[in-house]
Amino acid sequence: MRISLLMNIVLLIFLTVCGQDKADAVASLRAVIHRPDGIDIPFTILSKKQNGERSWVVKNSDERIALKNLRKAGDSLFTEFPVFESQLHLGPLRDGEYRGYWFKGSPEGYNTQALSVYPNQHFRFKPKTGKPLPMIAGRWAVSFTRPDKRQRPAIAEFKQKGCRLTGTILTPSGDYRYLEGIVSGDSLQLSTFDGSHAFYFRAHIDSDHKISGGLYFSGTSHLESWSAIKNPEAKLPVDNQKIDLSTEKKGLDFSFPDLNGKMLSIKDKRFRNKVVIIQLMGSWCSNCMDETAFLSEYYRKNKSRGIEIIALAYEFSTDTARSRKSLRKFQARFHIQYPVLITGVTASDSLRTQKTLPQLERVENFPTSIFLDKSGKVQKIDAGFNGPATGEHYEEQKKMCYSTVDKLLSE
């Protein structure tokens, strides 16, 4: 009994040092997604009861995602994410623990993964004791190795307070958003879950400038290895961040239905003699979510200057009703006032460029922004989006948009 009490006290001290959540007025629940291969991806749910109503919020570092329509049916709990085709269905076990499934939209319909929620585990990752604490805050050049042995570059930016570790990973197509975890002993662990993507990173810390033996788990089965070298000057390859334009700058020519079924064309009077941003996106895409939050606010503040934005949606399926339902959820969440058009072509279609924007050579990344001048000619294409989790890179991303549009407006 005394040993058990002592161990609990030691664990509480470590959790406090690591900056992980303790139970208070807002209860901290530990949720775990169970992959079929036995890998667990943990995340944090903040639970609060006010005026007799309970609410859940998913926490990833500084991010808070308020879940919608938390409701009970008998002893079971059901809730959904404010964006994405994503729901949690949970049934009671014992001592306040829940077990159920995460339902997520996919090209095949819905994928399910086992999920547990534990009420008395006030940590994301349990720290180890007894070893010196490595300090790994800073900028790291990362190399991921895909299952086919191809390598892809990335940049990790970590912040560390005690053994609490946060940060993000930037890639040519966007960032991995808000990562949260710990440094413990000679290892690190990070995870995030936003309703669309579930990521888990772990690795061995060789020194304060070298990380090796890393594994990156995503979704139900994806796995890549990774390693990193600390490098304050690390940069992503510029060539991978842009889409090639044809030999001469061209205009685009497309016509797709909006969410009410009304056909809209880039040739319509509404867009003539205006600077237009074409947003290539999908309601399944987390980086698109961050970009949409920015563009929606930007449009509300700047549309009177002669600016238009059109979102072209590439969804999981060609089912118009399903796409419309998911996109309306997206539209409502970010108060989108610009047109959202359904291309009817899936994001996974290898011929998506030819079918939707044949004037371009290729569309590889979601999101992608295409900037048209007042004559309708393509002047700039920017692939990927660095969201708010990236800090200064997010500010640079916004400045790029501001300066590009201002330049086109002045011409």
What mean pLDDT do residues 31-57 have?
94
Cα–Cα nearest to 166, from 182, 155, 154: 182
Q: How would you label 260-297 residue by residue, b for 16+ Cβ within 10 Å and e otherwise?
A: eeeebebeeeebeebbbbbbbbbbbbbbbbbbbbbbbe
Q: What's residue 15's pLDDT?
A: 47
Pick the range with the lowest mean pLDDT from 48-52, 266-270, 300-304.
48-52
For CATH 2.40.128.120, the residue range(s) in the chain are: 138-230
- Strand 307-313, strand 275-281: pairing: parallel
Distance CA 87, CA 394 (A): 29
Distance CA 370, CA 405 (A): 11
Residue 18 pLDDT greater than 70, yes or no: no
Residue 373 pLDDT greater than 90, yes or no: yes
Residue-wise pLDDT for 257-277, tens only, equals 999 999 999 999 999 999 999
Q: What's residue 139's pLDDT?
A: 98
Residue 86 pLDDT greater than 50, yes or no: yes
Q: What's residue 249's pLDDT?
A: 63
Residue 34 pLDDT greater than 70, yes or no: yes
What mean pLDDT do residues 156-165 have?
95
**CATH T-level topology, domain 242-410:** Glutaredoxin (3.40.30)
Q: List the CATH code of the domain at 138-230.
A: 2.40.128.120
Residue 42 pLDDT greater than 90, yes or no: yes
Residues with Cβ within 8 Å of 4's Cβ and at least 6 positions away in sequence, in order, are none
Q: What's residue 105's pLDDT?
A: 94
Q: What's residue 80's pLDDT?
A: 96
Residue 366: Cβ within 10 Å count: 24
What mean pLDDT do residues 338-351 have?
96
Inter-CA distances, 179 with 44, 119, 242, Å = 12, 22, 26
What mean pLDDT do residues 302-330 have?
97
**CATH T-level topology, domain 2-118:** Lipocalin (2.40.128)
For CATH 3.40.30.10, the residue range(s) in the chain are: 242-410
Confidence of residue 185 (pLDDT cuts 50, 70, 90): confident
Residue whose pair of structure tokens reads 């205006």 in the numeric block: 274
What mean pLDDT do residues 181-198 have?
96
Residue 83 pLDDT greater than 70, yes or no: yes
How big is the CA angle at 41 (ends 39 and 42), to the nearest 5 degrees?
A: 135
